[in-house]
Chains A and B, each alone.
Chain A
Amino acid sequence: MELALSYVDQILIFAIFAVSLNLLLGYTGQISVAHAAFGAIGGYSIGYLLLNNHVPVLAGLGVAIVAAGLVGVIVGIPALRLSAEWLILLSLAAQTIIIALVSTSSAFGGTYGLQNIVGLSVFGHSLTNPSDRLPLFLVCFLIVYAICWRMGESPYGRVLRGIREDERACRSLGKNVFAYKLMVFGVTAAMAGVAGALLAIDSSLAAPALFGFDQSTTIIAMVILGGMGSLPGSVIGAALLVLLGPFFERVLNINGDVTFLWRLIAYGLVLVLVMLLRPQGLLPDPGAPLRWLRGRRARAGGGSAEPVLADTALPSATAAAAAAPAALPALERNGGDIVLEVSDLSKHFGGIIAADGLAFALRRGEIAALVGPNGAGKTTVFNLLTGAIRFDSGSVVLHGHEIGGMTPNQVARRGMVRSFQDVRIFPFMSALENVMLAFQEQPGEHLASLFGRPGVTAKVEREVRERAVEWLRFVGMDALAAMPAGALGFGQQKLVALARVLATEADVLLLDEPASGIDQQWVDVMLGLIDRVRAAGRTVCIVEHNLHVVERLADHIYFMELGRITARGSFDELTAMPNLAKAYFGTA
Chain B
Amino acid sequence: MLDNVLQLTVNGLINGTSYALLGVAFSLILGVTGRFHVAFTFTYTISAYLAAVAGERAGLPFWAALLVGAAVGAVFGVLMERFIYRPLAARGSANTLLMIFVASLGLSIIGRNVIGLIWLSTTSEQINSFTNAGINVGPLNFTTIDVVNVVVTWTLIIATSVLLSNTKLGRSIRAVRVNPEMSLVVGIDPGRVFLAVFAIGSFLGGVGAVLTATKTSAVPDMGFNPLFYAFVVAFLSGLDTRPVRVGLVGLGLGLVESWSEIWLPTIWTSLVVFAILFVYVALRPVQFRLLFHRFAPRRAVKA
Contact = CB atoms under 8 A, between A and B. Distances in A.
11 contacts: A81-B286, A82-B281, A84-B98, A88-B101, A96-B274, A100-B271, A104-B267, A217-B109, A264-B113, A290-B93, A290-B99
Contacts of B267: 100, 104
Interface stretch (A46-54, A199-207, A268-276, A350-358): A268-276
Contacts of B116: 261
B224 interface: yes
Contacts of A69: none
Interface string A52-86: 00000000000000000000000001110111111
A85 B34 CA distance: 10
B93 A293 contact: yes
A261 B87 CA distance: 28
Nearest to A214: B109
Interface of A: 29, 31, 33, 77-79, 81-86, 88-90, 92-94, 96-97, 100-101, 104, 165, 213-214, 217, 220-221, 224, 257-258, 261-262, 264-265, 267-276, 279, 289-290, 292-294, 422-423, 425, 427-428, 486, 490, 493, 517
10 tightest CB-CB pairs across the interface, nearest first?
A271-B106, A268-B109, A268-B110, A272-B106, A78-B282, A275-B103, A78-B281, A268-B106, A104-B267, A486-B301
B235 interface: yes
B249 to A, nearest CB: 15
B36 A292 contact: no
A93 B230 CA distance: 12
A265 B103 contact: no
A141 B111 CA distance: 33
A289 B300 contact: yes
Nearest to A165: B94
B106 A89 contact: no
A414 to B, nearest CB: 20
Most B Cβ at <10 Å: residue of A82, A100, A224: A82
B91 interface: yes
Contacts of A100: 267, 270-271
B94 to A, nearest CB: 5
Given A89-B235, A213-B224, A275-B88, A268 B291 contact: no
Contact of B274 (A93, A221, A289, A493): A93
Nearest to A267: B109
Given A29-B98, A90-B278, A269 B106 contact: yes
Given A85-B295, A96-B274, 20 more contacts: A29-B98, A31-B97, A78-B278, A78-B281, A92-B228, A97-B270, A97-B274, A224-B102, A257-B120, A258-B120, A264-B109, A265-B110, A268-B105, A268-B107, A268-B108, A268-B111, A271-B109, A276-B87, A427-B299, A427-B301
Residue of A78, A93, A274 with most chain B CB atoms under a 10 A cut-off: A93
B231 interface: yes
Nearest to A291: B93
Contact of B281 (A79, A96, A422, A423): A79
Nearest to B94: A289
B113 A276 contact: no
Contacts of B274: 93-94, 96-97
Contacts of B152: none
Contacts of A271: 102-103, 105-106, 109
A79 B274 CA distance: 12
Among A214, A292, A293, chain B packs the most CB atoms within 10 A around the CB of A293
Interface in B226-241: 228, 231-232, 235
A83 B277 CA distance: 15
A157 B64 CA distance: 57
Contact of B110 (A29, A269, A427, A517): A269
B117 interface: yes
Contacts of A214: 109
Contacts of A83: 288, 291-292, 295
A279 B109 contact: no
A275 B90 CA distance: 13
Interface centre among B117, B232, B303 (most CB of A within 10 A): B303
A82 B284 contact: yes
Contacts of A101: 271
B36 A85 contact: yes
Interface in B210-266: 224-225, 228, 231-232, 235
Contacts of A486: 300-301
Interface of B: 36, 84, 87-88, 91, 93-95, 97-99, 101-103, 105-114, 116-117, 120, 224-225, 228, 231-232, 235, 267, 270-271, 273-274, 277-278, 281-282, 284, 286, 288, 291-292, 295, 299-301, 303
Nearest to B110: A268
B231 A89 contact: yes
Contacts of A220: 102, 105
B114 A89 contact: no
B236 to A, nearest CB: 10
A265 B114 contact: yes
Contacts of A165: 94
A486 B95 CA distance: 14
A266 to B, nearest CB: 9
Given A101-B271, A289-B95, A290-B93, A276 B109 contact: no
A211 to B, nearest CB: 15
B152 to A, nearest CB: 27
A270 B225 CA distance: 24
Contacts of B224: 96, 213
B150 to A, nearest CB: 26
Nearest to A269: B110
Contacts of B270: 96-97, 100
Nearest to A271: B106
Given A265-B113, A276-B88, A428-B94, A84 B295 contact: yes
B97 A427 contact: no
B51 to A, nearest CB: 23
Nearest to A490: B303
Contact of B93 (A90, A265, A292): A292
B95 A29 contact: yes
Contacts of B111: 268
A181 to B, nearest CB: 13
Contact of A290 (B95, B282, B284, B288): B95
A267 B109 CA distance: 8
A96 B284 CA distance: 22
B101 A31 contact: yes
A93 B108 contact: no
B233 to A, nearest CB: 11
Nearest to A87: B281
Contacts of B91: 279, 293-294
Contact of A89 (B109, B120, B232, B295): B232
B113 A268 contact: yes
B284 A84 contact: no
A33 B93 CA distance: 22
B257 to A, nearest CB: 13
Contacts of B278: 78, 90, 93
A232 to B, nearest CB: 20
Contacts of A427: 94, 299-301
B281 A86 contact: yes
B98 A31 contact: yes
Contacts of A89: 231-232, 235, 277
A217 B270 CA distance: 22
A276 B103 contact: yes
Give the one of B36, B99, B284 with max A CB within 10 A.
B99
A21 to B, nearest CB: 12
Contacts of A104: 267
A486 to B, nearest CB: 4
A77 B295 contact: no
Nearest to A489: B301
B93 A93 contact: no
Nearest to A216: B105
A93 B106 contact: no
A88 B84 contact: no
Nearest to B266: A104
A318 to B, nearest CB: 31
